[in-house]
A = this chain, B = another copy of it.
Amino acid sequence: MTKNKRVAFFISDGTGITAGSLGGLLAHFPETEFEQIRIPYTNNSAKVEDAQKRIANAKLLSGVRPVVIMTIGDSELRNELKQVDAYYVDLFESFLSPLGKEISEMPLTRPGVSHSITGSNYGNRMEAINFALGHDDGMTHSGLNQAQVILVGVSRSGKTPTSIYLAMQFGIKAANYPLIPEDFERGTLPPILDGYLDKIFGLTIKPERLHSLRSERRPESHYASLANCREEIGLAEALMNTMGIPSADSTSRSVEELSAIIIQNMKN
């Protein structure tokens, strides 16, 4: 099937991250292939003109009018931009202005408000990233009592990117520990984790997928062999079951999905 093509611009007077995040919703249109173009820091007339040229050009080249998702606080710049033909989703007009009426407060219109360093959670997020990097793969036990989540699972089950995502996106301090043959022989978690059971979350994965991931790293090794992957995963899952550790399968889940599940679990 040939897909329809459409250019989608995300134009902002700041980083363009909020506008761009709506780009995820475009996945709801599988028959259309969106070429996504971000134009951040569109905060004066000259830059608006540049953006207009790119929109007009995209329309000329594609034959259909582009989609423009925009967060520009200055209403003059906003209206100036919209002079060129496109399908506009104006988040200030459609989201912030009506919300401002609801809560009886006029929204700030200066650029760069949303993703600045002064956001209340920014310091926490940076601290959590340092924590996740410092506590990756059982690297150090020091400060483990500060962890809000401790991920466990066999090597290459997705612990590292999930820990980093939890930190980067939510400021959650996540440590992670690999489950290794010694743990299976002993039949318990690494002893250092004693007393932290309520913070522990397990990641598991299908043997075929683990085999493929490990083969990228160490092809033809015992470590990567399907038989060994199957055995390690079986032992890890048995350990999690015995100890009542909640877990999720990373085989077909993104770090976003895993993180949402982990956070839900933290709340219960």
Contact = CB atoms under 8 A, between A and B. Distances in A.
A160 interface: yes
Nearest to A36: B121
A185 B119 CA distance: 39
Given A89-B95, A99-B87, A164-B168, A28 B108 contact: yes
Given A129-B161, A161-B129, A168-B168, A28 B260 contact: no
Interface residues of A, number: 68
A21 interface: yes
Contacts of A4: 103-105
A264 B89 CA distance: 23
B18 A105 contact: no
A24 B114 contact: yes
Contacts of A169: 17
A116 interface: yes
Interface in A114-134: 114-117, 119, 122, 126, 129-130, 133
5 contacts: A18-B25, A21-B21, A25-B95, A89-B95, A165-B168
Nearest to A33: B120
Contacts of A16: 260
A133 B160 CA distance: 10
Interface in A223-268: 252-257, 259-261, 263-264
A116 B29 contact: no
Given A67-B99, A67-B102, A114 B27 contact: yes
A22 B95 contact: yes
Interface of A: 4, 6, 14-18, 21-22, 24-25, 27-32, 38, 40-41, 67, 71, 73, 87, 89, 91, 94-96, 99-100, 102-105, 107-109, 112-117, 119, 122, 126, 129-130, 133, 136, 160-161, 164-165, 168-169, 252-257, 259-261, 263-264
Given A25-B96, A164-B129, A257 B91 contact: no
Contacts of A109: 28
